[in-house]
Amino acid sequence: MTTKAKAPSSDESVESDDRADSPLHFDSVLDRNLRPDPDLEDPDPDPDPGLGSDAEVTRRSDAEFESVSLEPLAGLRVAVAMSGGVDSAVAALRLKEAGALPVGLSLRLHDPDPENPAAPRACCPPDDLQDARRVAEALDIPFYVVDARAAFDTHVVRPFVDAYLAGRTPNPCVGCNSFVKLDTLYRRAMGLGCAALATGHFARVTRDAAGRTRLFAGRDANKDQSYFLFGLSPDILGCLVFPIGDLTKAEVRARAVRAGLPIAHKLESQEVCFVGGAGAGDFVMRQAAAAGDHRGPIQDASGQVLGEHEGVMRFTVGQRRGLGVSSSSPLYVLDIDASKKTLTVGARAELGRRGLVARGASWISGRPATPVRVTARIRYRDRGTPATVHAVDEDRVRVEFDRPAFAVAKGQAVVFYQGVEVIGGGWIEESAL
């Protein structure tokens, strides 16, 4: 069912989606449980001379976007993904100001768990649906809620748990964008006869002379979310519109305030939606799949046992805090072997890796001839390392870094950039010294 300029009960606007078989990341999601220690980042990243400096590439990229406008959507029905946050609200506002006919869509991804209270600033909690509804009413646009709980559990929550139990560090937001949210919303938008699907991502798209869709970072480098979108299918990427991709976060907030939107002063989300306030490790331990004794040794690279841990699902490569091991110098997680329940720790210098192998390689505008030069980002907040990508087979690629990349974690996404353009990516399977 749909709502417009009224506030029905929470069940009145729920529309089941039995076809939903794959998750979206509208506002910034930075789960501190999934990030290595901040001091692992390379303090002096050099731009790849073959790609141009960041400033030069940004100027070239911004010039390409000077002609991009929402005006061609005037008079057309456009679905807009509404998370209940400021970014998606301003995306809907800009569409309406451009003369488009926005249709608000929100996803019900999971139910509240009374035994696992959400983190204070988790993304996409069920309560956000009410905020999305309030924005739709303020803008006087139709609003639908799509039930994607089953798909979210199958394609996000279960893989998240399985990955941690296997000693990998998953990035649920990338999988959610590619396999549940945008997939589900795209099909619903097409079913409603919409000409495009808009989201509140800080990213940008263009179509080149050959008609191929190209994906670029958002103008606000601090909020850019293009990293999360590398795995989208051509059909979905080709119909996407990012109305706030050319704005900074401050400009988005200011527009919301000027328009008097009811969520104008709402804080942005910074935690994974379903994990809860206790963190990823505790969430995994509560799942049936985690039954049993997960204790194991903490050892150094020579095999000397330094202590014991309560379960590998509580750790990620690069982690420094919470190891429970005394040492005269800082220790970091170097490797996780779930089959042996072993955690290997060592000095920061031992975290450098010269390369990696990634599976599930995906390319935005078709598979390029390899080797290909890129800047490779091995996690969301990574500033990137110049690298060369080689094809291993149809599914896998080998990445050789120009200099060691720090804390390469299995299970994370590696995303390939040329300047501020995303050309592809994959899922880290193993790293190489």
Encoded tokens for 344: 């290997």
Q: Does residue 4 carry a pLDDT above 70?
A: no
Residue percentage of the chain with pLDDT more than 90: 66
Average pLDDT over residues 39-58: 43
Average pLDDT over residues 294-305: 95
Catalytic residue among 123, 124, 176, 239: 176
Encoded tokens for 75: 């008079």
Residue range(s) occupied by CATH 3.40.50.620 in the chain: 2-259
Question: Residue 55 — pLDDT band, cuts 50, 70, 90?
Answer: very low
**What per-residue confidence (pLDDT) applies to 177?**
86
**What per-residue confidence (pLDDT) applies to 141?**
98
**What per-residue confidence (pLDDT) applies to 62?**
53
Residues 335 and 383 sit within 8 Å (Cβ to Cβ) = no
* pLDDT tens digits, 246-267: 999 999 999 999 999 999 999 8
**What per-residue confidence (pLDDT) applies to 267?**
84
Residues 126 and 110 sit within 8 Å (Cβ to Cβ) = yes
Write down the residue that tokens 């008097």 correspond to: 260
CA distances from 172 to 36, 100, 165, 257, 273 (A): 16, 32, 15, 31, 10
User: What radius of gyration do the chain's Cα atoms show?
Assistant: 22
Using alpha carbons, select from 224, 276, 275 the residue that is nearest to residue 249: 224
* pLDDT tens digits, 118-166: 544 445 566 789 999 999 999 999 999 999 999 999 999 999 999 999 9
Fold of 351-432: Elongation Factor Tu (Ef-tu); domain 3 (2.40.30)
**What per-residue confidence (pLDDT) applies to 82?**
96
CATH level 2 (architecture), domain 293-349? Roll (2.30)
Cα(129)–Cα(109) distance, integer angstroms: 10
Among the listed ranges 24-38, 210-224, 400-414, which one has the minimum average pLDDT value? 24-38
Highest mean pLDDT among 102-106, 212-216, 266-270, 320-324: 102-106
* pLDDT tens digits, 335-349: 999 999 999 999 999
**What per-residue confidence (pLDDT) applies to 116?**
64
Question: Residue 84 — pLDDT band, cuts 50, 70, 90?
Answer: very high
**What per-residue confidence (pLDDT) applies to 31?**
36
The CATH homologous superfamily for domain 2-259 is: HUPs (3.40.50.620)
**What per-residue confidence (pLDDT) applies to 69?**
78
Write down the residue that tokens 């995994």 correspond to: 284
Residue range(s) occupied by CATH 2.40.30.10 in the chain: 351-432
| 101: β partners | 77
Residue range(s) occupied by CATH 2.30.30.280 in the chain: 293-349
> DSSP string of 2-46?
EESSS---TTTTEEE-TT-------S----GGGS--GGGS-SSPP
Active site residue 273: yes
* pLDDT tens digits, 98-126: 999 999 999 998 887 766 665 444 455 66
Question: Structure pTM?
Answer: 0.84
Catalytic residue among 123, 124, 194, 273: 273
Active site residue 124: no
* pLDDT tens digits, 270-292: 667 788 777 888 889 988 888 99
